Structure formats: structure tokens, C-alpha cells
A and B are shown apart, each in its own frame.
Chain A
Amino acid sequence: MEISAELQRQQRSPWRHRMRQVQAFLIDLLLLTLFLLMVEFLVVAFSGRRGPTGLLVTPEEILDLLHYGWAAAGGALLALLWGFGSDWLGTSPGRALVLGVPEREGHRPWTHTLRGWFIALMVQLTVFTGWLITEVQLVTFLTQFSKATDIVRGLVHPSSTVLHQGLVLLVQTIFLAFMATAFAIPVAFCLSFLAARNLTRDTFLLRSAYTLVRAGMNFTRAVEPLVWALIFISWVGIGPFAGVLALWVHSVAALVKLYSEQIENIDHGPVDAITATGASHLQVLRFGVVPQVIPPFLSFTIYRWDINVRMSTIIGFVGGGGIGYILKPRVDLGQWGEVGTLVLLIAATVWCMDILSAKIRERIV
């Protein structure tokens, strides 16, 4: 059954099937290359090899020493072998992921397949390699707490000298987050209809708009707000407005995603009913779609404001206004009492926003 379905699919679109095979091969290639690299890393790490200074080579130096080209070539070779030998070796991980496991090996336990053992080994290798690369030092962590007591003492003994300035900037932070959210609402609202699959199937123009908006928003969301802040700081100068713009861009992208998912989940009945009265597209949106999505939109928007308040602290670190702006120099100078005051102010605000937004969202939905 399974196989014939797969065959049917192959016949219906051979081109797409080819693409899937290429995808599967690339995933296998990636996994096997990583596998070889991690093996080499661990071999070098435990070989006791010494660097130019006579000391044991550090993980960073090992990363520099690895033979990436050879590993990729080896990975490609192994991926090809596994691909062609899948009758004896079982389905490779990439094929299992992209094309699914054929019926005849579907119910075998993982210990009976090469793929199962390979994945288990990969997980272990990743943990070992990760441990070394991130230089995990359990002993230090468990015994050297005393060095951090200064900071902790500062945090629990807040100093009142920055209280006034902190409160002023806190107000700025909240408004900064609010303005970013407010500016984001109309833009995200309009774009979200174009980013909803169920409303953009009819014409070529709509389908292109969907792809364009989706791609644009995914890219925008992938760029960290911190990076947006740096861009806007050079654009409009240091200050809260740069922060507003940075959070605005990020909020638009995030809200479009949340909004459009809501639009995709609407009940299609009212849309049919309004369409059947002879209403135009805009009227169908206004009557058939908008009333259904307003409550979730409101709830997401308030949630977004809440997130923006937290984010604006970090944005302030690089000069985007708000309370983060005076927090950064005090962290650098080690004025832990003042840092404590500011951190507590932020924590209190976030806590209030959290409760408030949860309460409002509870009421709306």
C-alpha cells in the first residue's frame, strides 16, 4: 500500500520526487560529515597532542585543525553508499526524514537498524563534543560561588541613588514598548490577510503576494531585535526612537505570523454565507473574517506589548533608549547596588505586565 502510494506520487510529479531525493541526500551528507568531524575532534582532544606553546591544544585550536574538506568528501561518499546500499543497510536518516520509512521496515525497533544505532551514536558524540567545545567545568561551578557573592549582595541591597532616574527611564521603557506595538498593529493587520493561505489561493497575484509577505516576514523575524536596533541607531541616532523602530519591525513580523495563523483557523461558514449574499472581497473580509479574529488579535497584541517591555531593556544596552541605557555602564563598572535597583524595577514591571496581560487575555477570549 505504502509503496504504491509513493510510486503514484513519483509518477504524478517526477520533478518534485527528484527534489526530495536531493534533499534526503543533502541531509545524509550533512549528518555523516558532522559525524566524521566530531569523531576527529574527539580523537584529537584525547590524543594528548600539544600545541605550539607546549600546552595541550584547546578546543578552539582543535576546531581550527579539523579537516573539513576531507570530512565533507567522506560524508558525501558514505551518504552515496548508504543511499545505494539501502536495501542491505536500511533506510538512511535523510530518506527517513524526507521520504518516510517504507512499510517493510516500519515496525523494526531502533536497535535492529543501522539508522537507529547511527542516531544514538550521533547524540552521544554531540553531547561529548559539546561538553568540550563549551568548556563545561562542573567543579568550578560547584565550588567557586564565593567570587560572585559581591554581585548577589549588591542585587539584594539595592542602592537608592538611581531610583529616581530608573523610574523615569522605566516610564520611557513602557512607552517605548507601547509605541512599537501601536505602530506595528495596523501594518501587521493589513499584511496578515496576505499571509494567510486560505485567503490567497484564488489568483496568481494573491499567491505571489502570499509568498512575498511570508518570505519577507520570516527574514525580518530571523534578524535579532538587537541587530535592528544597531541599524536604526545609525539611521535615526541613539535614543528611544531607534528602540521604537527596532521593536516595531520585529513586532510587525511576529504579529503577522500570529495573526495570519488565526486567520487560517477561522470557521469558513460565515465567509461562505457572506460571499453568497453577493458581497465584495472587502465586505467578505469585514463581515466573514474580521469578527472572528478580533479577540485573538487583541490577545496577541497585548502579549506582544508584554514581550516588547522585556526586549526594550536589552535594546537599551546598545543605545536604543529605555532603562537598559543606564543599566549597561553600571554593569561594566561593577556598581552592583545600582544594578540591583534597576533589575528589581525591571522585574517588578515585567511581573505586573505579565499579570495584567494574562488577566486581559482571559477576559477577551
Chain B
Amino acid sequence: MSQNGAPVDIGASRPAEVVRVEGLTKVFPNGVRALSGVDLEVRQGEFLVIIGLSGSGKSTLLRCLNRLIDPSAGRIWIFGDEITAVEGAGLRAMRAEVAMIFQQFNLVKRHSVINNVLSGALGHTPLWSSLLLRFSGEEKAQAQAYLDRVGLGDRGDSRADALSGGQQQRVAIARALMQKPRLVLADEPVASLDPALRHSVMRHIEALNREEGMTVLCTLHDIDLIERYATRVVALRDGELVYEGEPKSFDAVTFHQIYGEDAVMAGSAVD
């Protein structure tokens, strides 16, 4: 890879680089080494799925990318700018362009659904009016349009915690849309949903990628979702990147490489 550390576009024909990670390492204060020396490059328009056993460092990797976690070593570039150590306004500007979707939805439970969607715009709204929960008419119309799009147009006034899990995750997707991000980080977006609802949520995330042209990094637990949604797969094992390839070439051999000999491939058994 590049020696001087600056992001380099190799050939004008390839899509622009969105994420670049070099030697990313995270050691938590309690001594757990969650990531060690991860190198990764993601280009515009990819739907990258990250897999790995529980505790392999998937969440830590995603959270380093928007700096919810500060890395211990290594460097990170987002859209070509190094963000490894930015602070203050620079950090917030980067975060505003990177949306995150969580396994536990993380909505503001006591706020209305529409307010939750509007909170996606906080990176751009004036401070004082947002503290009073006042948003512009334009923003409200935008939020309503996104709610319509995830099929919850009539639930804007409900309290967020009155919705089912699948509906809450769709609100979280509308919140991400509201952010108008160029990159979406989804951390096990369907892991706490009923298997029957998984595709309904995954399809919306797919739409972010296909229709809005957003680059998506998504961690997943179910192997059977990979082939359907991913354009590329990487796998983590004990904090190290151990696999990278096309979703189609992901077979039983690679599965055991990643998950160990004792693991049982779910495939048709589940779902």
C-alpha cells in the first residue's frame, strides 16, 4: 500500500476511495486487544459486509471509523481526509457525513418518531433552535418524506418506543437518510429482529446503497444474508482481518477458516 500515508487513487477509472484504514489497532483500558493491525480499503458504492465471531472486533472497527472509539494505533482516512485524531468541528463535520445504524436501534425512546428522524439533521441545524426542538419547515417536510419512504409515514407522532423492533430500525434508517450521508455504518442492523423481518429492513439498507449511491459497511451475523446483499465480504478473527473476497466465493472452506472447525454452517438449517 502507499508508503507516504496519503490516500492515492490508483487509476481514474476506479471509484473514489471512501474508507482507508492502515494498521488500525485498539487496546481497551482493561487490556483487551479488540483490533490488531487492520488494513482495509473501501470504495465508492460498495456494500461491504464484515463478518466474524462474537467478540472478533466488528463493532470496534465500525466505531473507530466515526471515532465513537478512539483507536490506539494506526491511521484512518474518510473520503480522503485523515480523521485519526481530528477533534471539535472537524470531527463533527466528518460524523455528519457518516451515518450509523445500531443493533439496538438507539432511538430517543421518549421522543416522537418524527423528532427522531429530525435528529439526524443535528449536524447541520443551528444550535439554539435545535435545543428547543425547533426545526425548519423544509427539514420537517424532508423528515416526513423519509418516513413515508420507510413505510411509516402515518406514525410520525407516535412515541418511538411504541413501535415494534422492525419499525424502530426503519425509523433509524430514516434518521440516517436525514443525515444525507455518503457513508453508512450498520452494526448488526437485523440481529435483534425476528428472522422474518430481516429482509424488510435489509432491503431499505440496500436501497441506501443502490438508489442513493451511499457506500455501506455492514456487520452481519447470518451468513445467508451475505450473498443476497454484499458486494464484498471481509472477516475478522480475534481482531485481525483473516478473509477478503467476493460473496459468491464464500463457501464451507472459508467459513471454517473464519469461524473455526467446530462451527456449523447455518444456511438452510436456520431461516
Contacts and interface: CB of A to CB of B under 8 A. Distances in A.
B106 A277 contact: no
B131 A277 contact: no
Interface stretch (A38-46, A74-82, A128-136, A283-291): A283-291
Given A272-B102, A286-B130, A291-B108, A277 B119 contact: yes
B99 A276 contact: yes
B108 A288 contact: yes
A277 B102 contact: no
A272 B107 CA distance: 10
Contact of A283 (B100, B109, B111, B131): B131
Nearest to A281: B92
B98 A286 contact: no
A277 B68 contact: no
Contact of B102 (A273, A282, A286): A273
Contacts of B37: none
Contacts of B269: none
Given A269-B102, A269-B104, A270-B108, A277 B179 contact: yes
Given A282-B131, A283-B122, A276 B68 contact: yes
A286 B125 CA distance: 14
A272 B106 contact: yes
Contact of A278 (B106, B122, B172): B122
Interface residues of A, number: 20
B109 A277 contact: no
Nearest to A269: B106
A220 interface: no
A272 B68 contact: yes
B127 A283 contact: yes
A200 interface: no
A292 B122 contact: no
Contacts of B94: 278
B93 interface: yes
A22 B111 CA distance: 51
B127 A280 contact: yes
A28 B99 CA distance: 57
Contacts of A280: 92, 122, 127
Contacts of A276: 66, 68, 95, 98-100
A278 B89 CA distance: 9
Contacts of A238: none
B165 interface: no
Contacts of A283: 122, 127, 130-131
Contacts of A282: 127, 131
Interface in A280-307: 280, 282-283, 286-288, 291-292, 294-295
A101 interface: no
A230 interface: no
A159 B1 CA distance: 95
Contacts of B92: 278-280
Given A279-B123, A283-B130, A273 B106 contact: yes
A335 interface: no
Interface of A: 269-270, 272-280, 282-283, 286-288, 291-292, 294-295
